[in-house]
Structure 1
Amino acid sequence: MNIKFRLLLFSWLLQFVNYLDRTSISVAGPTMVKSLGFDASQFGLLLAAFALGYAIMQIPGGFLADRFGTKAMLVVAPVLFSVFTGATGLATTLAALIAARLCFGLSEGAINSGFYKLIGDNFTHREAARAHSMWLTAFALGPALVAPIATAILRTADWRTVFFVFAVPGVIVALLVFFLIPRDAIEGQRHTLTSDERRAQWRAFARQPSTWMMFFGYFTFSVGYWGFLGWVPSYLVAQRHIDLKALGLAASIPYLFGCVGILVYGRLGSGWLYRRQPALLATSVLAAGATLYVAYSAHSIQSCVIALSATAFLLYGCLTPYAALVVQLAPAGARGMFAGTINTGGQIGGLLAPLAVGYLVKASNSYNSGFGFMIGAMAASAACYGALQIWMSSRVPKREDVEAKQLGGVR
């Protein structure tokens, strides 16, 4: 088997399991809330606890991937997040659940930057757009399969069993990576930089305006993305009154469209829109805000699900050009830390989204205000990516020769 294909396959499997575990709480949420007597703001705290842990570990996870190698992170982190997935099912109080989800977020956050480093170290910049599109389909297929699997479990068992079942796959995939991926095939640029050189790389990308346009663009994008991912199942149950039996199918449809969006955008990003990826992001995020507005103002369930599917297509599609830009702009030898820095912005948005949406839903007794907050964040994200396109168009030369040799990020 071609080594690049093998790396993509196991990265995909790990990310798929990652999202199975991460989004299972969204589907189990309505049953959990009813069983434990929580309100929307308390459930928002559970979602935010994961986001906090995930955000905290972005930069440390990138450093660990650069320092100790990607394979170590791809083996250790899944075992840990599987343990804390199971621990979620054992918790009996709000405090214990928050602690379990915080540790779960720390474990999953440790692996995220390693994925970007793996692709950046083993694929050219043009290849990276296509590679990311294949890897990122796990972001959509994981949540799409969570809904029918979790609801099937909930028909015969309680919500705790959902977390016990989803604790198993991560350990299995970690063992497969350990035994089937040679270490020298994955490590890329490990140990190529001294401490002084690494600090110089930090200073260099911290001075670049593009770094902060990416940081704040992903921060505001993630408010909409994580708000969508965390609250759609609860919205369909609480405001659209879809019963639990129908939820499995209805909640899966938008994520399937999201998978298609990732593949379509991967094709666009590796083709004629390769140099216009920030502009692609800006227009797509704006369009996602518009379709989200249509979703919550629709008069029928069918129209709502169609609009949610369009939103998922656009939001998930945006992940491909975003990931390709991270690889393109990252300094060689410090890709993990750069990805961790930018992803920290996204995870701060992921932390803010469930707290803000939960508060707004509780205060207004309607999801409309929460969705409005998400739409405003998407508009701000579009502005950041539009500014990045202007900056790149004026500063970045043609790079075909550089790309082929993988000599790092934008200077």
Structure 2
Amino acid sequence: MKRGLVIVLTASLAFFSVVLVRFSIPSLLPYMVGRNGINTVMGGLLISFLWIGYTIFQIIGGLMVDRYGYNVVLYVLILIAVLNALYPIIITQYYLLLLVQFVMGSLLAITYVALISIVLSNYGRGGLGAGIYQSMFFLASSISIILSPLLFSINKYIPFIAFSTLVALSIIPLVKVPGNRRINSTITIGPENMGILGMGFIRLSSGFSYLGFLSWSTYYVVHVLNVSPSLSGLYAFLASIMGSAGAIIGGYLGDRAGYTWPSILSSLSLAIIVSIIPRSSVIYLLMLLMLLLGFFYGFYAAPSIAISKFTTNIGATSGFLNFMSQLGGSVSPYVIGFLLQYYNFTETLLAIGIISMVLVVIGAILLFNDRNLLNKIYRQ
């Protein structure tokens, strides 16, 4: 158990470093939208291109990890560190930046699947292990959101070089992690495995609501709360910081009580909170809602991915589940940017919330019709 915990922490620290990279560009939207001919639609597309690459390569990455072993992540981390260091050179070249965003998203997807597979395969308490791992997402995204605008305002090279260095350093302890678990991986998502498909819809809902809002959070506080761009990360920070506590609590509860209800109820809460955030005119209530948003996304994330341990092909299944959440995260930023051309944030986020609620209902129906999967969950 102690050895497994060390492996969980090693994989989690590597995940921490790549999440810093993932949220640096979205955090810089206040510096980019309105300059060099970039409007809100182009800004949303810039974020979506990373999520598109990230989404497409979830399943591909899962199959690669199952087939070639976990050590594939070492080579991918090297590529991420090098590519991220090039961002300040190309940041004003919009179409080249779009292409690089897609490539970066693809590499980040492979990294996510490899690292979560390492966690679920080497630690018996799958929910808690996934919770510790997912907590790094919220810590790193919070730090990236708060530091990237500040560091960029000093010098455009600083945030990218700093984050690339951390990614490179995370490779060192990963070298000692076993990486020889290889199987001929396939994945079947259909009538014979409705529960996984149902959980996929629940993750689609959460990605659509939370990731969409988080991607536009710095822009939101600048244009709605009239915060200066350099301090925008301090406010958007609230929307992610509580996710670490939520991930660990949700994972622990999932191990004890099953992974279904924590995932369903927290995803539904996310949709409701996103809908009502722009309706709040009281600053302290808005701060509380943002804190709850981060908490519930963490609470949902750990149990909903830990369900992968009940399948033979952990890499492919976790890849599919993360594919669904990132599908929501890749579409939502563009949808928000498009709607903002015609509506205000109140109407736009209400539409996002309603769509997310419908997806939760569909997922719950499919999940509770898979008795085989539910029996495995509640027998553990």
TM-score, with normalisation over the residues of structure 1?
A: 0.85
Deviation by residue 1:216-258 (Cα, 9 ceiling, x = unmatched): 3222321112102211111111111112354332222232222
Query: In terms of Rg, which structure is larger?
Result: 1
Please state if 1:232 is matched with 2:214.
Answer: no
Q: 1:369 aligns with which of 347, 367, 370?
A: 347
Q: Return the alpha-carbon distance in structure 2 between the equivalents of residues 152 and 227 of structure 1.
A: 22
Taking structure 1 as reference, are residues 372 and 15 closer, same or farther at Cα in structure 2, changes over 3 Å only?
A: same
Name 1:143's counterpart in structure 2: 141
Amino acid at match of 1:254: A
Name 1:267's counterpart in structure 2: 252
Partner of 2:303: helix, strand, or coil? helix
Q: Return the alpha-carbon distance in structure 1 between the equivalents of residues 27 and 121 of structure 2.
A: 36
Name 1:278's counterpart in structure 2: 260
Amino acid at match of 1:322: S
Partner of 1:241: helix, strand, or coil? coil
Q: How does 1:131-280 map to 2 (within 5 A)?
A: 131-158=129-156, 161-178=158-175, 181-183=176-178, 186-187=179-180, 189-191=181-183, 193=184, 198=185, 202-203=187-188, 207-271=192-256, 273-274=257-258, 277-280=259-262
Amino acid at match of 1:350: G
Q: How does 1:3-402 map to 2 (within 5 A)?
A: 3-73=3-73, 75-91=74-90, 92-124=92-124, 127-158=125-156, 161-178=158-175, 181-183=176-178, 186-187=179-180, 189-191=181-183, 193=184, 198=185, 202-203=187-188, 207-271=192-256, 273-274=257-258, 277-328=259-310, 330=311, 332=312, 334-364=313-343, 366-392=344-370, 396-397=374-375
Amino acid at match of 1:154: F
Partner of 2:325: helix, strand, or coil? helix
Taking structure 1 as reference, are residues 247 and 399 closer, same or farther at Cα in structure 2, changes over 3 Å only?
A: closer
Partner of 2:318: helix, strand, or coil? helix
What 5-or-longer segments of structure 1 have no aligned partner?
A: 404-411
Taking structure 1 as reference, are residues 206 and 63 closer, same or farther at Cα in structure 2, changes over 3 Å only?
A: farther
Q: Return the alpha-carbon distance in structure 2 between the equivalents of residues 224 and 119 of structure 1.
A: 27
Name 1:406's counterpart in structure 2: none
Q: Return the alpha-carbon distance in structure 1 between the equivalents of residues 191 and 359 of structure 2.
A: 20
Q: Return the alpha-carbon distance in structure 1 between the equivalents of residues 260 and 255 of structure 2.
A: 13
Amino acid at match of 1:368: T
Retained in 2: the 8 A contact 1:278–1:388? no
Taking structure 1 as reference, are residues 154 and 393 closer, same or farther at Cα in structure 2, changes over 3 Å only?
A: same
What 5-or-longer segments of structure 2 have no aligned partner?
A: none
Moved over 6 A (4+): none
Q: Return the alpha-carbon distance in structure 2 between the equivalents of residues 379 and 400 of structure 1.
A: 26
Amino acid at match of 1:345: M
Q: Return the alpha-carbon distance in structure 1 between the equivalents of residues 43 and 177 of structure 2.
A: 42
Taking structure 1 as reference, are residues 25 and 172 closer, same or farther at Cα in structure 2, changes over 3 Å only?
A: same
Q: Return the alpha-carbon distance in structure 2 between the equivalents of residues 295 and 203 of structure 1.
A: 38
Q: Return the alpha-carbon distance in structure 2 between the equivalents of residues 231 and 42 of structure 1.
A: 13
Superposition CA RMSD, Å: 2.3
> Percent identity among equivalent residues?
18
Q: Return the alpha-carbon distance in structure 1 between the equivalents of residues 188 and 147 of structure 2.
A: 46
1:87 Cα offset (Å) = 2.7
Retained in 1: the 8 A contact 2:195–2:368? no
Q: Return the alpha-carbon distance in structure 2 between the equivalents of residues 353 and 84 of structure 1.
A: 25
TM-score, with normalisation over the residues of structure 2?
A: 0.91
Amino acid at match of 2:341: K
